Structure 1
Amino acid sequence: MTDELLTISAFARQVGLTPSALRFYDDCGLLRPASVDEQNGYRYYAPSQEPRAALLRDLREIDLPLAEVRVVLDEGAAEGVAVVQAHLKTVEGKAEAARRATARILASLPAVPYECAVTLGGAELASAIRQVAAAASESDEIPALACVFLELGEDEVAVVATDRYRLSVRKLQPLGFAGYPRNLLVRASELTALAKWVGAAVEVRLETGPGGTALVVDGESRVVPVVDEEFPAYQSILDGLTPPACRVVVDRQQFLAVLTGETVALDIDSGKVTVTAVEPVGYARGELLGVLEGIGSGAVQLGFSASLLAAALSVSVGPDVLLELSAVDRPVVVRSADQGTFTTLVMPTRLDG
């Protein structure tokens, strides 16, 4: 019978495992040999065992615990898929946490020769500054909220601001990157003052290191003061968004035109948006401000600060705007149909007092 089987060494080469690993999986009961010579204890494997061995190899490659490996191998496809997908989410979460911790550690070690330089399109960066800085707080009560957060990475640069009622995020594609990822916090007023100068340039280079931070255009350098504060974990807010109960695309300018008064109620049903005024005291329903015909699905009724929602719409781009709405205690996502890299979150207002 052993003439039709493979030795442990031959089988190990065939499936990309080591003989010691095969012995271990035999001891664990995950991959038993097809035959064991009673006289010398040599293990032999059948060619039909190769698919199981290859799957076992791949599962261990992603560091799946042995108890979960057993589920994937022995308890059916549905159970196996669920285990692998759950493991992937865990691994991705740990990787993200490690990346953020690494950035914090590097940023806290000024003695280390730490340098980062990112090249961006001038007009694109200026546009991002204007869009995002509008969401920063006008008060210095919480210094970080009066700032714009810059998350500098090789593949992406995030420009973020929030005043706790609104959160704006713009993602930019770097034209060049050198050094290590770095996070910076800069006062919104400081960046806004530089936007016109930046926008006139084809390219702008943002350099940061132990000597400070600066924007460089055609050899001219302007200092960018960095604020030493903790910015809210904006990515966890985005990751925690619940699936919307309602989506609607409407004309942006028509929507802006009906956002008058202090508070408005939006009654959305299958793409039609009815906007009514709400009295400041007691939240009594007031006069009809307008009915917008849009494209969408789902139904929901929410209240908003008219000025807050109008501000979010004003910095969007293009003729249309997409709203994703869930509930009164969940932020509404405002997306530009013509600029998918820009997203604003706006908190609703209760209509029941």
Structure 2
Amino acid sequence: MDETDEPMNDALMSIGAFARRVGLAPSALRFYDDCDVLRPAYVDDATGYRYYAADQEPRAVLVRRLRAAGIPLTDAPAVLDGTREEARAVLEGHARRARETAASARSAIEEILRDLPGGARRASVRLGGAELASAVRQVAPAVASAPVREEFPVLGCVLIELGHQETRLVATDRYRLAVRALRHRSPEAAEDVAGAPGRVLVDAEALKEAASWALRMPDIRIEADQQGVRLHGDTAVRDLPAVDGTFPDYRMILDNLPAARHRIIADRTALREAITAGGHAGPLILDTGEQQLTVTVTVATPGSVTATPPAICTGPPVRIAFDPYVLLPALDAGVGPDVLLEIASPSQPVIVRSADQGSFTTLVMPVPGASADA
């Protein structure tokens, strides 16, 4: 029995029961708790299980509707707790930006359209082609650069791990670790995997090419054995040979992560703009002093550029430094308008995640260049 199905009395609901009632995933409810957007009515001190009251349903439904509209969580408090005028200003502003973004996207797509030219038992699972392509796009930035791959060829690969319920794609360059889990399309896929080899290393560049091909397929069957991976589409097949080598034990890394002491939730676009403003020639520093996020970027000319993007900071103040070329791909790989950084300390791996996709996890190593907790 876990948090999602733990029974409770008539006054309170388990996180699973409340999630079904309001149309949100339990992982999203945990995220909203972490961000102080939707706190549970009660948390069991012994188990850590969260429980919710019936009168929280309207707020949860409004949160779900805000997320469906793509409203950043940094703007959500104005709608959830602000005046009618504040809520209207936020919603109308978001609607205007959404129209502008949609118009730009439509124009770009139309331009692109104009330019288009007229043996051993194998593990086998089914996935959506677009889902697979999306997963490859997310983990591929964590693959090592060419110079590092020359010394450590295994870091130029993606680990494809076929399990009984899900398939995982994993990549790392020692400074980043990206993990994406994909649920299988059909129940019988789990039986197909039993007893068959389920861990294969494949070349990242070859996988990206195959993912571009799979994007056009509604359904992909993946087979794997010691020789490699085979992707079956409707009428064609793509083979990805296995690469010899020992991939880092990513599960041990994830299992041994310390608890987060600091959390930063920010508008993904605003944070990215703050980091890239004026270019960057050295480490960037995130500082949560005074419960405000300050981003300081070292630029090519002597000096630095400072910005204060909208953010919600919880926990004690912290100052932490990153290599922009490591943090930016982690931000770009995420899904949704918000990004959450979970920080244990300025010297330990930082988890980068979002409420919109609990199946994708990125770890980013900080760099020296900032003092310890402020």
Normalising by structure 1, we get a TM-score of 0.64
Deviation at 1:352, TM superposition (A): 5.4
Change (3 A) 1:243 1:116: same
Deviation at 1:278, TM superposition (A): 3.8
Query: Are residues 1:263 and 2:273 paired?
Result: no
Given candidates 227, 250, 254, the residue that maps to 1:234 is: 250
Query: Are residues 1:348 and 2:355 paired?
Result: no
Structure with the bigger percentage of strand: 1
* Structure number with larger C-alpha Rg: 1
Deviation at 1:295, TM superposition (A): 2.0
- Counterpart of 1:189 in structure 2 is 205
- Counterpart of 1:297 in structure 2 is 314
Report the aligned-residue RMSD.
Answer: 2.4
The share of aligned pairs that are identical, in percent, is: 41
Q: Distance in 2 between matches of 1:352 and 1:329?
A: 9
User: Does the Cα contact within 8 Å between 1:248 and 1:271 map onto a contact in 2?
Assistant: no
SS of corresponding position for 1:248 = strand
SS of corresponding position for 1:258 = helix
Deviation at 1:306, TM superposition (A): 1.3
Matches within 5 A, 1:241-260: 241-260=257-276
Deviation at 1:210, TM superposition (A): 5.8
Query: Are residues 1:331 and 2:324 paired?
Result: no
Query: Are residues 1:122 and 2:122 paired?
Result: no
**Structure 1: segments with no counterpart, 5+ residues:** 1-80, 83-111
Alpha-carbon deviations, 1:92-148, whole Å to 9, x = none? xxxxxxxxxxxxxxxxxxxx9432111111111100001101100122221111000
Change (3 A) 1:221 1:242: same
Deviation at 1:154, TM superposition (A): 1.4
Q: Distance in 2 between matches of 1:263 and 1:319?
A: 24
- Higher relative contact order (Cα pairs below 8 Å, separated by 6+ residues): 2
Q: Distance in 1 between matches of 2:299 and 2:272?
A: 19
- Counterpart of 1:161 in structure 2 is 171
Deviation at 1:198, TM superposition (A): 0.6
Change (3 A) 1:213 1:276: closer
- Counterpart of 1:202 in structure 2 is 218
Change (3 A) 1:190 1:125: same
Deviation at 1:149, TM superposition (A): 0.6
Q: Distance in 1 between matches of 2:291 and 2:219?
A: 41
Normalising by structure 2, we get a TM-score of 0.60
How many positions carry a matched residue from both structures? 241
Change (3 A) 1:211 1:289: closer
Given candidates 270, 283, 287, the residue that maps to 2:304 is: 287
User: Does the Cα contact within 8 Å between 1:206 and 1:215 map onto a contact in 2?
Assistant: yes
Aligned-partner residue type, residue 262 of structure 2:
C
Query: Are residues 1:275 and 2:295 paired?
Result: yes
User: Does the Cα contact within 8 Å between 2:330 and 2:364 map onto a contact in 1?
Assistant: yes
Q: Distance in 1 between matches of 2:310 and 2:143?
A: 32
SS of corresponding position for 2:308 = strand
Q: Distance in 2 between matches of 1:194 and 1:346?
A: 27
